[in-house]
Chain A
Amino acid sequence: MNKEKYKEIVSKNTPKEDTVKNGIIAFLVGGGLGALSELLLRLYCLLFDMPRKEAGVLVILTLIVIASVLTALGVFDVLVSKVKAALIIPITGFAHSISSSALEYKHEGLVLGIGTNIFKLAGTVILYGVVAVYFFGIIRLIIMGG
């Protein structure tokens, strides 16, 4: 069997994902999460009598804790396989990447396992965030003066 025929058979038999359905689910669930966070933010504003900025940080922390606990319980992966980007793109995905690598490498020890691997996936977000901020920050300082 030549290579091209093999490729043809492979692509024919790979299950096709319904990209339209995936997109709609990601939009609805992601949007729902956004609206729910806004509700939570206003709740925190009222309950703790704090300004919106601090309440926003508290909302982010709440989502991080929820996502980490769900990851530890093994629920998060099931949810991600259903709603995909709607949970990866919000801060829940960041929390999941940290807690899942901590759990996964636990068996290799506290330092060499959890310690060296905890930033395995989240490291890329922080690295490129920092690189971008230095770059854009200097541009902004030059253009707008701060």
Chain B
Amino acid sequence: MTYVYAFLFCGFVCLIAQIILDNTKLTPGHVTSLFVVIGAFLDIFGIYDKIVLYAGAGALIPITSFGHLLIHGAMDTASSLGPLGLAFGIFDLTAAGISVALFISFVLALIFKPRH
């Protein structure tokens, strides 16, 4: 059943983004920023956690999960250190993704030539 929910949720998020892109003047940059904020917002009351529980990887793949992971890391340290913990833990869970993306992009940029 997780596969069905994963399909539905990930498809739904992409569909909304496509509708926004087609009908407004917003660029992909606007839409991804907006979705990150929405992902963080949905985690105030732990809603995104429930979505992850049902949709599994289907909820981890869209950029909304970036906001979810940011706030999750921040809240984890905040619960032990207080408000200052927000700053300490904010990148805890996204560090792997950002650092791997940076490293591999750098290596690939050295090897490949841009194509147009």
Contact = CB atoms under 8 A, between A and B. Distances in A.
Contacts of B104: 64-65, 68-69, 99
Interface in A26-80: 26-35, 37-41, 52, 56-57, 59-61, 63-65, 68-69, 71-74
A124 B61 CA distance: 18
B61 A63 contact: yes
Interface residues of B, number: 71
B29 A89 contact: no
Given A38-B3, A59-B61, A19 B75 contact: no
A26 to B, nearest CB: 4
A132 interface: yes
Contacts of B33: 124-125, 127-128
B15 A133 contact: no
Contacts of A118: 102, 105-106
Contacts of A114: 106, 109
B112 A73 contact: yes
Contacts of A30: 10-11, 13-15, 62
A61 B97 contact: yes
Interface string B73-116: 01100110001001000100100111011101110111111110
Interface of B: 2-4, 6-15, 17-19, 21-23, 28-29, 31-33, 35-37, 40-41, 43-45, 55-63, 65-67, 70-71, 74-75, 78-79, 83, 86, 90, 93, 96-98, 100-102, 104-106, 108-115
Given A34-B61, A84-B18, A140-B75, 15 more contacts: A31-B14, A31-B58, A37-B61, A38-B3, A61-B100, A64-B104, A65-B104, A85-B17, A89-B31, A91-B65, A91-B97, A103-B109, A121-B29, A122-B101, A134-B86
Interface of A: 17, 19, 22-23, 25-35, 37-41, 52, 56-57, 59-61, 63-65, 68-69, 71-74, 84-86, 88-91, 93-95, 98-99, 102-104, 106-107, 114, 118, 121-122, 124-130, 132-134, 136-141, 143-144, 146
